[in-house]
Amino acid sequence: MGEPEIRRRRDDDLKACVEALATVHEADRYPAEWPADPGAWLTPDGLLGAWVAVEGCPDVLGHVALTRTGQDLAADAGLAADQLASVARLFATASARRRGVARALLATASAAAEAEGLRLVLEVEDGGGAAIALYEHTGWRHAGTRTGDWTTADGRAALLHTYVAPAGGLH
């Protein structure tokens, strides 16, 4: 398998994104609760941009979105909300793991944010060990932890970790 292409998400990608997300949900319980409208879930309020990793057509291997940052997350990060963009809806399918897909999606999102003069921030649930390892390995700084307002698939209160991307973007 070659390197997947990372490109801006198009409207006609949404069906394949939902299908890919369904496989991630089945394997990893992400998202913890399957959304009533998964296409809308992949297109959250405050969307600044979204990208997909594709291999062939219409195989979506991964997805990432950037959104405006809310005040709570900005406070956790210690920066003003208008200086930040939030990573959201990041996932890679099982077949894309260990191939650098999530890292490439993060790098693309980072470059887009940097082009707008924004720094990336994100929240990750405590159960996302592989994601946390990726963020820490690529230089993200842990900025805080708080209890979320939702319950994980295993019935516990979500424990959310805030991470801030390294200054100067990801490399």
What CATH class is the domain 5-164? Answer: alpha beta
Position 29 scores a pLDDT of 87
Q: What pLDDT band is residue 27 in, cutting at 50, 70 and 90?
A: very high
Is 1 a residue whose pLDDT tops 60? no
Q: Mean pLDDT over all residues of the chain?
A: 93
Phi, psi of 84 (to 5 degrees): -125, 155
What are the extents of the domains in the chain? 5-164
Position 32 scores a pLDDT of 86
Amino acid symbol at 124: V
**Residue of higher predicted confidence among 143 and 57:** 143
For 133-164, the pLDDT digits (tens) are 999 999 999 999 999 888 887 889 999 999 99
Position 120 scores a pLDDT of 97
CA neighbor of 43 nearest in space, from 69, 59, 15, 65: 65
Position 2 scores a pLDDT of 67
Question: What tokens does 9 get?
Answer: 């998400």
Is 115 a residue whose pLDDT tops 90? yes
Q: Which of 1-5, 30-34, 38-42, 134-138 has the lowest mean pLDDT?
A: 1-5
The answer to whether the beta carbons of residues 102 and 140 sit under 8 Å apart is: no
Count of other CB atoms within 10 angstroms of residue 111: 11
Q: Spell out where the chain has E strands.
A: 5-8, 47-54, 60-68, 84-92, 119-125, 141-151, 157-164
